[in-house]
Amino acid sequence: MEPVRMAFIYDGQADDGGWNQAYDAARQYVEANMGDRVETTFVEEVSPGSETQAALEDFAEQGYDIVIGTTYIQDDLLDITPNYPDTIFLSWAGWQLDEEVGNVGHFDVATEDGRYLDGLAAGSQPDVDMIGYVAGFAIEEVVRGLNIFTKAARELNPGVEVRVVWVNSWYDPPAEQQAAQTLVDLGADLLAGEVNAPAVAGVAEEAGIPYVHYGTDGSPTGTGIAPNSWLSGFVFNWAPYFLAQAEAVAAGAWEPAIFYGGLKDDMIDMAPFGPTVSDETLALIQERREAIIDGTFDYFAGPIMDNQGNVVVPEGGTVPWGERTACCQWLIEGVVGEIPTS
Q: What CATH number should be reported for the domain holding residue 167? A: 3.40.50.2300
User: CB–CB of 169/136 below 8 Å?
Assistant: yes
How high is the pLDDT of residue 342? Answer: 65
What is the end-to-end Cα distance of the chain in Å, rounded? 50
- Answer with the one of 50, 78, 109 that is the final residue of a domain: 109
Pairing of strands 304-305, 311-313: antiparallel
How high is the pLDDT of residue 171? Answer: 87
275 forms beta bridges with: none
In a domain, 44, yes or no: yes
- Of the CA atoms within 13 Å of residue 188, those in its CB half-sphere come to 32
In a domain, 22, yes or no: yes
- CB crowding 250-270: b at 16 or more within 10 Å, else e: beeebebeeebbbbebebbeb
Name the domain count of the chain.
2
Whether residue 139 sits in one domain with residue 83: no
The dihedrals phi and psi of 318, each to the nearest 5 degrees, come to: -160, 180
Sign of CA dihedral 317, 307, 201, 208: negative
In a domain, 243, yes or no: no
d(Cα 81, Cα 66) in Å, to the nearest integer?
Answer: 12
- Answer with the one of 109, 132, 150 that is the final residue of a domain: 109
260 forms beta bridges with: 108
Picking from 91, 177, 92, 190, the residue whose alpha carbon sits closest to that of residue 141 is 92
Whether residue 46 sits in one domain with residue 162: no
Whether residue 104 sits in one domain with residue 37: yes
How high is the pLDDT of residue 197? Answer: 87
Q: What is the pTM of this model?
A: 0.94
Whether residue 298 sits in one domain with residue 150: yes
- Answer with the one of 57, 75, 109 that is the final residue of a domain: 109
Task: Tell me the residue range of the domain where 185 lies.
Answer: 111-232+271-336
In a domain, 228, yes or no: yes
In a domain, 264, yes or no: no
Whether residue 296 sits in one domain with residue 227: yes
d(Cα 96, Cα 116) in Å, to the nearest integer?
Answer: 29
A 10 A CB-CB count for 182 gives 15
Whether residue 123 sits in one domain with residue 92: no
Whether residue 141 sits in one domain with residue 128: yes
Cis peptide leading into residue 328 (ω within 30°) = yes
How high is the pLDDT of residue 17? Answer: 79
Whether residue 74 sits in one domain with residue 117: no
Whether residue 292 sits in one domain with residue 154: yes
Query: What are the Cα distances from residue 219, in Å, to 116, 190, 211, 222?
Result: 18, 16, 10, 5
In a domain, 165, yes or no: yes
Cis peptide leading into residue 303 (ω within 30°) = yes
The dihedrals phi and psi of 253, each to the nearest 5 degrees, come to: -120, 15
Whether residue 137 sits in one domain with residue 88: no
How high is the pLDDT of residue 99? Answer: 84
In a domain, 50, yes or no: yes
Compute mean pLDDT per 10 residues along the chain, 342 residues long, and list them: 95 88 96 98 95 97 97 92 97 90 95 98 98 95 97 98 96 96 98 93 98 94 94 96 98 96 96 98 98 98 98 98 92 97 74
Whether residue 132 sits in one domain with residue 50: no
Whether residue 214 sits in one domain with residue 163: yes
A 10 A CB-CB count for 57 gives 16
